[in-house]
Amino acid sequence: MTIGRIEIRQLVGKLDEPFGWSQRWNDSRGVSTVKLFDSDGAFGWGEASADPQTFAALQELAPQVIGKQAAHARAIWQELFQVFYQSHGFAGANVSALSAIDIALWDLAGKQTGKPVWELLGGRMRDAIPVYATGLYYTEDDYPDTLFAEASSYLKQGFSGMKMKVGGKSVPEDIERVLGLRKHLGDGPHLMFDANEAYDSATALQFARAVADADISWFEEPCPSYDDAANARVREQSPILISGGESLKTRHEFAPRLANRVFDIVQPDIAVAGGISEMQVIAQMANAHGTKFHPHFWGTGISFAASLHLVSTLPFTPPKLVPEPYVNEPVLEFDRTPHPVRENVCPDFDVVDSRVEVPNGPGLGVEVDESVVERFTVGEAVVVE
């Protein structure tokens, strides 16, 4: 049962209405997919971001997976990492591509054995994963009515927490949006905000202090990810927990940030940081450093399911008898912004009491609609045999 065929695609869907954050506005959403077939015709799905660099890296790495066995996902990870390690391309798009291949290998290994990924990983600690809604991006004339209506819809859908954007307006305007939304929600629901690296440390601290009484669960990416000193300064002085790491890759980019306590919370993305294999390593490193682990998610049901399996296996940080989401139990991001591919390619996941059940079917346990894959494919699938 060796890998005999690989299909690589770029899927892109146009948005009806653009939305924005501190760095850009979006009018489409996309993903790169990998479908690995074994010699018996079984297949596994993986995904990474849709950018052209990742798509190119997938085509470069895929031939090296032909002839290998899905059950050897961790060994294949190390072999592929070695391929680009000394080419000065050690992270970047290569690791995104490797993430997609790794997720597909675990999915295939589960389908070959009839076991869910969480079981192949050594068993799970929880049947359902705490989630929060990501949305509340900038749209035209959204404040206050549109923003408040969106926030209310997340409470109705069963979410106990949600995350909004800051950094796309002036500092006073964004402070008003945060305070206004907290007032609209009332006490209780978790509220987080995300600057997407928009501030220097002084501005981030000014912002954090201005909203210190609004019961904010975390302040995400206050400063540029390359500026550890700025993020560490904010973490030390902010009245709100500081999070980051959604664009960081592999244990090697997390190790110094964990050792130096740059963030209170790390947020790697399974389709970016190195797939299921590497996320388990990063999560255990975060646990050992006493740093919370609340993974990022921005893809389709493929990487969301992979995240559910991974998070189900994780210990509490720190250990205590009673698990509490946000406190010692990981909370997974559940992107609810418009995404035509995500909304159609897999059945959506039910949210009950702000948790999503971990799939129990073989592999990732999600059904991918092939007609939807075809419909959103840009050009033709690249086939490697």
CA distance 313 to 139: 37
Residue 195 CB, nearest distance to Mg ion (Å)? 9
Residue 220 CB, nearest distance to Mg ion (Å)? 5
Q: Is 296 a catalytic residue?
A: yes
Query: In angstroms, what CA-CA distances link 14 with 29, 53, 342, 343?
Result: 7, 20, 12, 12
**Site track for Mg ion across 219-248, x = CB under 5 A:** -x-------------------------x--
CA distance 264 to 338: 29
**Identity of the residue, 47 or 269, whose beta carbon is nearer to Mg ion in the bound complex:** 269
- Smallest CA-to-CA distance from 306 within 97, 90, 36, 117 is with 117
Coarse DSSP helix, strand, coil percentages of the chain, rounded to the nearest 5 percent? 40, 25, 35
CA distance 105 to 302: 12
Residue 246 CB, nearest distance to Mg ion (Å)? 5
Q: How far is CA 12 from the centre of its chain?
A: 18
Contacts of 381 (CB under 8 A, 6+ apart): 7, 8, 9
**Identity of the residue, 150 or 220, whose beta carbon is nearer to Mg ion in the bound complex:** 220
Q: Does 253 bind Mg ion (CB under 5 A)?
A: no
- As given in the structure block, the two tokens for residue 130 are 């705490």
Residue 198 CB, nearest distance to Mg ion (Å)? 11
CA distance 286 to 257: 10
**Identity of the residue, 23 or 360, whose beta carbon is nearer to Mg ion in the bound complex:** 23
Residue 107, SS3? helix
**Identity of the residue, 153 or 337, whose beta carbon is nearer to Mg ion in the bound complex:** 337
**Identity of the residue, 73 or 211, whose beta carbon is nearer to Mg ion in the bound complex:** 211
Among 194, 197, 269, 278, binds Mg ion (CB under 5 A): 194
Shortest-Cβ-distance residue relative to Mg ion: 194
Contacts of 27 (CB under 8 A, 6+ apart): 14, 15, 18
Residue 267 CB, nearest distance to Mg ion (Å)? 7
Catalytic residue among 72, 184, 289, 296: 296
**Identity of the residue, 265 or 358, whose beta carbon is nearer to Mg ion in the bound complex:** 265
Q: Which of residues 279-318 bind Mg ion (CB under 5 A)?
A: none
**For the stretch 331-360, what's the b/e string if a residue is b when 16 or more beta carbons lie within 10 angstroms of its beta carbon?**
bbbbbbbbbbbbebbbeebebeebbbbbbe
Residue 352 CB, nearest distance to Mg ion (Å)? 25
Binding part of the chain for Mg ion, among 199-207, 212-220, 345-353, 363-371 by CB under 5 A, reads 212-220
**Identity of the residue, 22 or 250, whose beta carbon is nearer to Mg ion in the bound complex:** 22
CA distance 356 to 48: 22
Question: How many other C-beta atoms lie within 10 A of the C-beta of residue 371?
Answer: 8
Q: Which residues bind Mg ion (CB under 5 A)?
A: 194, 220, 246
- Residues marked active site are found at 296
